[in-house]
Chains A and B, each alone.
Chain A
Amino acid sequence: MISAGIDIGGKDVKVLLLKDGKVLAKEKAPGGFDQAGVIEELMEKALKAAGIERKEIRKIGVTGSGKKYAPSHDVEITEVGAAAKGVSFLVPSARTIIDSGAEDSRGIKCEGAVVKDFATNDKCAAGAGAFTEAMARALEVSLEEFGKIALKSTKTVPINAQCAVFAESEVVSLINSKVAKEDIARSVNDALAERVVAMVKRIGVEKDVVVVGGLAKNPAYVDGLKNGFKTDVLVPENPEFVGALGAALAARES
């Protein structure tokens, strides 16, 4: 049976097509100003890539903060549920999930796809990808660059601001004081990782720890998490699609 999962995130929309447990296609794009339009486009692209017709999709599941923009669908699942489903499918040994997106971060304690507990940091840009995005802008580098150059750093500087707006000013100040870009980038990633680690520690950290969401593609951030938890973390391939995968799985099960 073919099912589709749509994850309408704070920044990107992800669409994934699933057939009997195998991923047929996955596409993503910034949601921008016309979420509904982007979803349509991605759906078309995914269908083409999978070589199937629209009517072959039996069930559609949606998740993400922008659920309200979704076209008609069969199942709605929370971001926490979707992450748990998606991760446990890819990594059955997962017991702690860190899902960091553009606008929020979640820590989930799970046993298989069953959510035992969770903690979220939402409504605050300093706890999510929006933070690194703003700092990357201040450093005038792309998001990818930002993660990469941070790994070259040899030392960190304290970032006192706990707010993305104030931190941006602080970073500009550091740049003016001639602090190296790599060191600033690393310090920023560390500051963000520190906050997420503190939040997740409260629900208890058990191996295997899996990191997903858009921010999982930032190697410096993942490194920061590793250091914070003092344990190895696993990052599955295509970590930003885990939510959509979870939604597609939920649709299949419904």
Chain B
Amino acid sequence: MATNKTEDKKELWRWVESRWTNPDIDWKKGEIISAGIDVGSVSTQCVVMVDGELYCYSNLRSGSGSADSSWRGANFALEGTGMKVDDWHSCVGTGYGRVNVPMSKKAITEIACHGRGANWMYGPQVKTILDMGGQDCKVIHVDEKGKVTNFAMNDKCAAGAGRGMEVFADFVGVNINEVGDRSFNINEEPKPVSSTCVIFAKSEAAGLLREGWPVNKVLAAYTSATAHRVWELMERVGVLPELGITGGIAKNRGVVERLEKELGKKFQPKKWNNPEYEKKDIPFDTQIAGALGAALFAKALVEKERGK
């Protein structure tokens, strides 16, 4: 896991880190406390479930190694709950750093975990899941139970992942949280940047800025190119309704809305499948899908052990 030189500069790429606890659950009464930790190269999430209900979660920047990230994620999630990692009956690690999650019993790939997690969050009507995280992009087909039936994963290129967006946003001097909105604050939609590589896109952007393009227009061109790239991957696997989106990309409407236009279809609204959760106003964080799926697998492991 790398610490980048940009840490010394103004931290333009930092999105909002968050945590949440369910005030209505007394975890001490829980039969199965299962946890999932998703260690990505860019961000880490920890989700704790009590008897299959969401108890608490955290979402933060990854640390300097899988173990470090896992502990930070777990401690942040458990803050103020009185629960300790020792109280967990089972934990599953996922993501880039999954084999080194110290408190986990098993490592399961993000493909399986995102499938499960998205199915739980959005509901069984979602058959195609798009996940774009820090360093990869996945398109996953699932059945009503969240089991993967088809997928493609592209983790070679920064351009097809969150990292590319971070690098580009940093280059043009825009806070990543603002990229989406600003990319629509333009007079007319420009052509997408022609470079498929972030490094070349930066040079292309420099040229456009010198030609007098406003920054917002450059953002529009880049998000447009990213959307098209994602569209190509989705076409390869197939687009079966309904569509659900997970990962950090969901927070960038600059890419999502352009992608929806190209697909001719919208992604499911970011709403919990469980109406109770909607009523309680639980924040729907698309980035926790992987860890949530892992927590569900962790629960399944406990059930198997106990011979249920």
Give A residues with C-beta under 8 Å from B.
Answer: 33, 103, 123-125, 130, 134, 138, 162-166, 169-170, 172-173, 176
**A103–B199 CA distance with the chains assembled, in angstroms:** 10
CB atoms of A123 and B196 under 8 A apart: yes
Cβ-closest 6 pairs across A and B: A169-B2, A165-B158, A125-B199, A173-B2, A172-B2, A123-B196
Chain B residues whose C-beta falls within 8 Å of the C-beta of A173 in the assembled complex? 1-3
Distance in angstroms between the alpha carbons of A164 and B200 in the assembled complex: 11
Task: Show 25 A/B contacts (Cβ-Cβ < 8 Å), sorted by A.
Answer: A33-B207, A33-B210, A103-B200, A123-B195, A123-B197, A124-B157, A124-B196, A125-B197, A125-B199, A130-B200, A134-B199, A138-B5, A163-B158, A164-B158, A164-B199, A165-B158, A165-B163, A165-B198, A166-B135, A169-B2, A169-B4, A170-B2, A172-B4, A173-B2, A173-B3
Chain A CB count within 10 A is highest, among B158, B196, B207, B210, for B158
CB distance from A127 to the nearest CB of B (A): 10
From A123, A138, A162, A165, contact of B167 by CB (8 A): A165
Q: A-facing mask of B204-217, CB < 8 A → 1, else 0?
A: 00110010000000
Inter-chain contact B199/A123, CB cutoff 8 Å:
no
Q: What residues on B are CB-neighbors of A134 within 8 Å?
A: 199
Contact yes or no, A166 B199, CB < 8 A: no
What's the count of A-B pairs with C-beta under 8 Å? 47
**Distance in Å: Cβ of A96 to nearest Cβ of chain B:** 26
Contact A125 B5 (CB under 8 A): no
Nearest residue (CB) in B for A140 is B5
In the bound complex, what is the Cα–Cα distance between A169 and B40 (angstroms)?
A: 14
CA distance in complex: A138, B199 (Å): 14
In the bound complex, CA of A166 to CA of B134 (Å):
11
> CA of A33 to CA of B211 in the docked complex: distance in angstroms?
10
B6 to chain A, nearest CB (A): 10
A163-B157, A163-B158, A165-B167 given; A172·B199 CB < 8 A? no
> In the complex the two chains form, what is the Cα distance from A173 to B2 in whole Å?
5
Closest-by-CB residue of A relative to B206 is: A33
A173 to B206, CA, bound (A): 28
Please give, as numbers and ranges, the residues of chain A lying within 8 Å of B206 by CB-CB distance: 33
Chain A residues closer than 8 Å to B163, beta-carbon distance: 165-166
With an 8 A cutoff between CB atoms, is B10 at the interface? no
| Residue B164 is within 8 A (CB to CB) of chain A in the complex | yes
The docked-state distance in angstroms from the alpha carbon of A176 to that of B64 is 11
Instruction: For the complex, count residues of B whose C-beta is within 8 A of A.
Output: 22
| Docked CA distance A225–B199 (Å) | 24
Bound complex: CA A124 to CA B163 (Å): 16
Determine the distance from Cα of A20 to Cα of B69 in the docked complex, in whole angstroms. Answer: 67
CA distance A130 to B41 in the complex (A): 23
> Is B156 located at the chain interface by the 8 A CB criterion?
yes
Enumerate chain A residues within 8 angstroms of B5, measured Cβ to Cβ: 138, 172
Bound complex: CA of A55 vs CA of B195, how far in Å? 38
CA distance A165 to B136 in the complex (A): 13
CA distance A124 to B199 in the complex (A): 8
Q: How far is the CB of A159 from chain B (nearest CB, A)?
A: 13
Instruction: List the B residue with the shortest CB-CB distance to A34.
Output: B210
Q: Is the CB of A165 within 8 A of B3?
A: no
Residue of A nearest to B160 (CB): A163
Residues of B contacting A172 in the complex (Cβ-Cβ under 8 angstroms): 2-5
Docked pose: A130 CA to B198 CA in angstroms:
11
Q: Are A163 and B210 in contact (CB under 8 A)?
A: no
Please, how many angstroms separate the alpha-carbon atoms of A145 and B195 in the complex?
A: 29
Contact (A125, B3) CB under 8 Å given A33-B210, A166-B135 = no
- CB-CB under 8 A from B157, the residues of chain A are 124, 163
CB distance from B217 to the nearest CB of A (A): 19
With a cutoff of 8 Å between Cβ atoms, the chain B residues found around residue A176 in the complex are 3
Alpha-carbon distance A223/B158, docked complex (angstroms): 28
Contact of A130 among B167, B199, B207 (CB under 8 A): B199
In the complex formed, the residue of A with least CB distance to B166 is A165
Chain B residues lying within 8 Å of A103, measured Cβ to Cβ, are 200
Which of A33, A123, A125, A165: most chain B Cβ within 10 A? A165
Cβ of A125 and Cβ of B200 under 8 Å apart? yes
Residue of A with least CB distance to B158: A165
State A172–B4 Cα separation when bound (angstroms). Answer: 7
| Shortest Cβ distance from B164 into A: residue | A165
